Chain A
Amino acid sequence: MSEKHRILIVEDSPTMRQLLVFALKRLKNVEIVEAQDGMDGLRKVSSDHFDLALIDINMPVMDGLKLIRLIRGEENLKAMPIVVITTEGAKEDRERALGLGANEYLTKPIQANRVLAVAKGLLKIDS
């Protein structure tokens, strides 16, 4: 049996977290961990290994952009794929997030198919 893909969802909205969990659970062999803000996400990502992180931008305590900056500053986390999921649809927001090291930028309202396709691509899972 192949190893499980571990996915971290950093999102303050429980509704959004549940939706993302619903979508990602359709992938085979995944383990999903939830974090409710940037600080919680940083704690989890520092103490555990993840193959993919889905990060919201607007969050209390620590926002998503700061979290991405900190993650990319860590040598052992530089290669971890990051997908930003946000309400901010402006071009400059996208460029800022991608410039900080995010691999993909998805805007809300999200489409489960799109999230799945992006996750499959970054985790290198065959459909």
Chain B
Amino acid sequence: MSDDRPSIFGRTEEFLTLFKRGAEFSKELIAENERLRRRILDLEQHQQFAAQDPEQWDKLREELIQRISSLEAERQNFLERLQSLEEENHQFATRYVEIEEENNNLANLYVASFQLHSTLDLSEVVKIILEIVINLVGAEVFAVYVMDEKTNRLEAVASEGADPSTFPSYSLGSGILGRSVASGEIYCEDGGHPEDASRPVVCVPLRVQDRPVGAIAIHRLLQQKERFTPLDHELFTLLGGHAATAIFSARLYSESERKRNTIQGFIDLLTK
């Protein structure tokens, strides 16, 4: 029983506080009611006064007309502002889509260059080039050519969609591919589904500075890929430089490893 007493006192306190708040609120309401009543009286008096005097009527009418025209101007202003905001919003949305696309393209280019320089193994580099051309460009039949420095000929070393031996070799400066590599200019035909399958639609020369390293020849695109996009052209340019550097570095590395092993063999022979 004694345990209930503090809780009863507590609830009483709570009730009293609530009651005081209610009383304050009621006072506020009464005051507000009084204020509004006075305002209505003022307006009624003003109207009665105006109704008795034609001059006051005119004045009131003038005031109201001015007020209406000022509200209309304000409304017009808001409408114009709304329209301009809508236009701005549309521009932002378009810009957002453009930036999003740019962002995606940059991600593709970053991934391509990251992968190309992720290894010093020539076969891995060639495999990565194949992956990029399949997955990022969407090519179905294509070959990666490497320049044989002894014969000065471009030989297909890897391919997709057909065996590398079925792709012709080119001497530097001859045929579409040979000319593209000699000039260092990317060759690209519109549309990736040619009548003549033996003729490449894209030739990407792979060069390190002015030194030809190889090429990529695309003969046909995947059936769902209808045409080349601006990103494809960016990728061709990136491949032209980065794939060439990656092949060049991998070749140098494998040569230096071979030499190092030979020298190490000699040293081992002499010291043992």
Give the interface of A toward B (CB within 8 A): 13-16, 18-19, 22-23, 87, 89-90, 107-113
Contacts and interface: CB of A to CB of B under 8 A. Distances in A.
A18 B112 CA distance: 10
Given A87-B134, A107-B224, 9 more contacts: A14-B118, A15-B112, A18-B115, A87-B135, A89-B224, A108-B138, A108-B222, A109-B136, A109-B137
Contacts of A14: 115, 118, 128, 131
B111 A13 contact: no
A89 B222 contact: yes
B107 A112 contact: yes
B103 to A, nearest CB: 8
Contacts of A107: 222, 224
A15 B131 contact: yes
Contact of B104 (A13, A87, A112): A112
Contacts, number: 58
Given A89-B222, A89-B224, A107-B222, A15 B128 contact: yes
A108 B135 contact: yes
Given A22-B107, A111-B104, A113-B104, A16 B131 contact: yes
A90 B223 CA distance: 8
B72 interface: no
30 contacts: A13-B131, A13-B134, A13-B135, A14-B131, A15-B115, A15-B128, A15-B131, A16-B135, A18-B111, A18-B115, A22-B107, A22-B110, A23-B107, A87-B134, A87-B135, A87-B138, A87-B140, A89-B222, A107-B222, A107-B224, A108-B134, A108-B135, A108-B138, A108-B222, A109-B135, A109-B137, A109-B138, A109-B222, A111-B104, A112-B104
- Looking at B135, B138, B224, the one whose CB has the most chain A CB atoms below 10 A away is B135
B135 A18 contact: no
B260 to A, nearest CB: 28
A6 to B, nearest CB: 22
Nearest to B140: A87
B94 to A, nearest CB: 15
Nearest to A107: B224
A83 to B, nearest CB: 16
B136 A89 contact: no
